[in-house]
Structure 1
Amino acid sequence: MTDIASTISSWVWSPVLVYLCLGAGLYFTIRTKLVQVRGVPEMVRQMFRGQSSESGVSSFQALAMSLAGRVGTGNIAGVATAIAFGGPGAVFWMWISAFLGASTSFIECTLGQIYKEKDDNGEYRGGPAYYIEKCMRQKWYAAIFAAVTVLATGFLMPGIQANGISSSMSNAWGISSWPVAVGVVIALSFIVVGGVKRIGTFAGLVVPFMAVAYILVALVVVVVNVEAVPEVIRLVLSSAFGMEAGFGAIAGLAVEWGIKRGIYSNEAGQGTGPHAAAAAEVSHPAKQGLVQAFSVYIDTLFVCSATAFLILSTGSYTVWSGGDASGRVLYDGLGQESNPVEAGPGYAQNAFDTVWSGAGATFIAISLAFFAFTTIVAYYYMAETNITYLFRSARRPAVTRYAIRVLQLVFLVATAYGAVATAETAWMLGDIGVGLMAWLNLIAILIIQRPALQALWDFDRQRRAGLDPVFDPTPLGIKHATFWEDRVRRRESAGASGS
């Protein structure tokens, strides 16, 4: 399975996809007039505005749901593998992917809001499949994306998160994989059957706490090693472009691994963010687009950077040539050749141990358990949303409910398998899922970007007029945004009744 997965992953993650991600981010940065920079004050303001409703969650809960999917094993083990196989310069390219990806995230998440709809339970549903069908008018393409997303988030990607939990707990406490697998599955069962409202509430409670706690503790380690920070920054920048003698041979891998792990971590352009964005109760789609763009910063510039500086400032890493763990050791953080060790949670655990001897493994195990578990929950929500899309035209609601039960069973089995599989197999499968979604979604939003840009200009115009922006798609020439069209009709009808 590992050999097959490796071959497919190399096809999916060809250099074309890496440059497509960078190119799309640069293009949207220009088209939105640097929305990821000029929109930061509004991002923060909108984050704490809005209330949940019977149909949707609040902006903050939607942000937390999105962060639950973004902040996971990729922020710890993913950063470690990027450094191991791409050198310290991979961190720079992770930053670039976040900066450019924030504009991409704005486009896709605004589209998710514009073309959302209510399901049979009265809850908001949306995502790439919905906006591909309604805006691109290609149901076959939408169905392919939905099926790929169910495969990716329901089967291929949960295993990485479960594997991160089991490997970190094994490092910390010597617990075997099977008890961890059983515990994760039992805990997960109580969450996934509760629907979007329970998922939103759970994410809103757990995500902020875990992210802030992890960053603060990581900063303590960095401060203890503050004298190494200037050298770390120099090393990251110089090796990013092959100017560092020890890493010149892997400059291309720095770009590849930085972008690959950056996208896996912040998910910009992958098509996962729009699912959470669509669940939010807002008066204008651009509001949630801005909030979701900021979540890319939180994930990569804050959490991933904390891990990177933690590992690099303490020298707790090893870099290989050829992007292959079996290759020749080039360099480790102490400037010495060393025996290869598995790139993953162990890097961060060793880094913490330099300050709190013996406590690092425990702290990372606990942190990663929260990070990864909330990501698994977010994956399930995305898979269920796309199952709902695929079966929403079924004549009997029982068909959809049956399909969801099958999904839940497969999802739990895949999570358990990931916990006991090798890390290499889990990451290969996850990379395939991420790459397939990114290919399909990036092509789609490059084609149907216009409604998101119109929503941004409309939002800017209303803000300049001192208004709290309210969305009406008809004057903007945006068609098939049926949810918003119905909302405008109800608002006008209520106004006429009142007068």
Structure 2
Amino acid sequence: MISDLVSAINDILWGQGQILIYLLLFAGFWFSFKLGFIQIRQFRYMFTVMKGSTQSDKSGISSFQALCTGLSARVGTGNLAGVAMAISLGGSGAVFWMWVIALLGMATGFAESVLGQLYKVRDNHKEFRGGPAYYIRAGLNKPWLAITFSLCLFLGYGLTFSAMQANTIADALNNTFDIPTHYAGAVIAIVAGSIVIGGMRSIARFAELIVPFMGLAFIATAIIITLMNIQLLPAMFGDIIASAFGLTEAGAGALGAAIKNGIQRGLYSNEAGAGSVPHAAAGASPVPNHPVAQGYVQMLGVFLDTMVLCSCTAVVILLSDINISGEMEGIRMTQDAMSSHFGAGGNYFVAAAITLFAFTSVVANYAYAESNLHLFKLDSKPGRIAYTIIYLSMVFWGASATLKQVWGLADMALGLMTLVNIYAIILLTPTIINLTQDYKIKLAAGKEPTFNLKDVEIQGSTEADIWPKT
């Protein structure tokens, strides 16, 4: 019955109803237009804002740590297994629609991260916390909707998503080294537990060390494969475009599959609009000290995740000589593609890469859900211990669950979160626009854009002593 219920909800959100596909496209176009296509016009500045990004204080992590924490959650199964699933079900054209949703999603990610930073609070340890539940409560004065989002978040990031990441790690290790999945699940849970027990700062330090290393290693590998098959590149891009618009032999049916799977897996990878990354954005002490600074940082995260890392996986698969079956395939498809390029060594590389990629997501997902304990007055020692036990139990269970079970639950949780979050950020559009204009005016005046509440009209109110008022 649970499986039937999950399937029915997913069919409304992602399937025949396709509510979320239309909603995500609308949100992407909405914020791109309202913010003057900020992801294109200020593309270079997006990198410039990372200067001084390693600075932090006792209340918050650094902007660079917030970027790496956001990438930790983004860069995972969606990049290696999710891209493979999109291509296996939607053909090469799904890659084009992943690019489209990423380009539009950069504006959406900017908007939600600005709000996460503006409406952040201090928890019992005097550290910054925040996210959609907080800006829904403080900005829109809708506590019931804030609780609804938090419950969806706990279902997704608190339980399901890390189970899915553990499932992918265990499957890759079982395929490569014949390690039993329950053994892999136990080790993943133990190692993750040793990191998350230290809270957001411990998770941010871990992300800061691991994410740049694993990202650069994977990009370098994709570049090598591209150079090895440089003569095939024109045909590959031609096939992506033709398939994306239904110009191949399969026709219109393939077009629908390419759009659906490209957008769905693109969202799952970069999470723009889902309401997850604002938790990392809220945890930062930004430089310059303005909410919009974190908007640029997390907009860069969307670009790096989908336009760079997902494209690397697509190149690995599409330049290989493996057959695309049309049936759902995950990490094993990526392993087979890498093996076609490098032999048995390619299989080992993907197993190592997915273990690192997915494990960082396991750790970062904990931080997102843990940020919402404060909303329920559960950010005490007993509350954190109880949540940690439940969380790690789900990680252990996920390692041995079936692919369809885990991805179905993950899709439902992500869909419900996205539904609530996009509704909220569209209602908060005036605040986003006012903050962005304030930042641009101060930047154009040649001074560091420092935020002051008296300068900007916002909806609702922020927590006392977070931002200066004079």
Same fold (TM over 0.5): yes
**Deviation, structure 1 residue 354:** 2.0
**Deviation, structure 1 residue 87:** 1.2
Match of 2:314? 308
1:368-410 deviation digits (Å, cap 9, x = unpaired) = 0111011111110111111221226xxxx7xx43222221111
Match of 1:497? none
Query: Per the alignment, do residues 250 and 344 of structure 1 end up closer, same or farther by CA in structure 2, a change over 3 Å counting?
Result: same
Alignment of 1:229-240 (within 5 A): 229-240=233-244
Query: What TM-score does the superposition give when structure 1 sets the normalisation length?
Result: 0.90
Match of 1:377? 363
Residue identity in the other structure for 2:427: I
Q: Does 1:21 align with 2:24?
A: yes
Match of 1:5? 6
Alpha-carbon distance in 1 for matches of 2:226, 2:3: 36
* Partners of 1:154 and 1:380 within 8 A in 2: yes
* Partners of 1:286 and 1:456 within 8 A in 2: yes
Alpha-carbon distance in 2 for matches of 1:10, 1:55: 43
Alpha-carbon distance in 1 for matches of 2:418, 2:151: 14
Match of 1:495? none
* Partners of 1:58 and 1:281 within 8 A in 2: yes
2:372 partner SS:
helix
1:420 partner SS:
coil
1:473 to 450, 453, 469: 453
Match of 2:395? 415
**Deviation, structure 1 residue 247:** 5.1
* Partners of 1:59 and 1:288 within 8 A in 2: yes
Residue identity in the other structure for 1:30: F
Match of 1:339? none
Q: Does 1:286 align with 2:287?
A: no
1:61 to 47, 54, 65: 65
Higher Rg: 1
Query: Per the alignment, do residues 225 and 31 of structure 1 end up closer, same or farther by CA in structure 2, a change over 3 Å counting?
Result: same
* Partners of 2:121 and 2:466 within 8 A in 1: no
Match of 1:357? 343
1:452 to 432, 437, 443: 432
Structure 1 regions of 5+ residues with no counterpart? 326-341, 493-499
Q: Does 1:111 align with 2:115?
A: yes
Residue identity in the other structure for 1:224: M
Match of 2:277? 273
Match of 2:217? 213
- After alignment, is 414-423 or 269-278 more displaced? 414-423
Alpha-carbon distance in 2 for matches of 1:459, 1:266: 25
2:58 partner SS:
coil
Alpha-carbon distance in 2 for matches of 1:162, 1:44: 32
**Deviation, structure 1 residue 475:** 2.5
- After alignment, is 350-359 or 137-146 more displaced? 350-359
**Deviation, structure 1 residue 134:** 0.7
**Deviation, structure 1 residue 243:** 0.8
Alpha-carbon distance in 2 for matches of 1:77, 1:418: 15
Alpha-carbon distance in 2 for matches of 1:95, 1:74: 14
2:126 partner SS:
coil
Match of 1:332? none
2:99 to 95, 102, 113: 95
Alignment of 1:125-274 (within 5 A): 125-246=129-250, 248-274=252-278
Match of 1:334? none
Alpha-carbon distance in 1 for matches of 2:51, 2:10: 39
Match of 2:46? 43
CA RMSD across the alignment: 1.5
Match of 1:496? none
* Partners of 2:451 and 2:467 within 8 A in 1: no
Match of 2:37? 34
* Partners of 1:95 and 1:301 within 8 A in 2: yes
Match of 1:79? 83
* Partners of 1:472 and 1:488 within 8 A in 2: yes
Residue identity in the other structure for 2:331: P
Residue identity in the other structure for 1:113: Q
Query: Per the alignment, do residues 214 and 486 of structure 1 end up closer, same or farther by CA in structure 2, a change over 3 Å counting?
Result: closer
Residue identity in the other structure for 1:306: C
- After alignment, is 413-422 or 41-50 more displaced? 41-50
1:316-349 deviation digits (Å, cap 9, x = unpaired) = 34142xxxx3xxxxxxxxxxxxxxxx61112221
Alpha-carbon distance in 1 for matches of 2:412, 2:142: 24
Match of 1:344? 330
Alpha-carbon distance in 1 for matches of 2:409, 2:191: 23
2:373 partner SS:
helix
Residue identity in the other structure for 1:363: F
2:376 to 376, 380, 390: 390
Alpha-carbon distance in 2 for matches of 1:48, 1:206: 20
1:154-175 deviation digits (Å, cap 9, x = unpaired) = 1121111111101111111111
* Partners of 1:162 and 1:415 within 8 A in 2: yes
* Partners of 1:87 and 1:247 within 8 A in 2: no
Alpha-carbon distance in 2 for matches of 1:317, 1:174: 24
Residue identity in the other structure for 2:50: M
Alpha-carbon distance in 2 for matches of 1:152, 1:28: 25
* Partners of 2:246 and 2:255 within 8 A in 1: yes
Q: How many residue pairs get matched?
A: 464
1:67-96 deviation digits (Å, cap 9, x = unpaired) = 001100000100000011111111100000
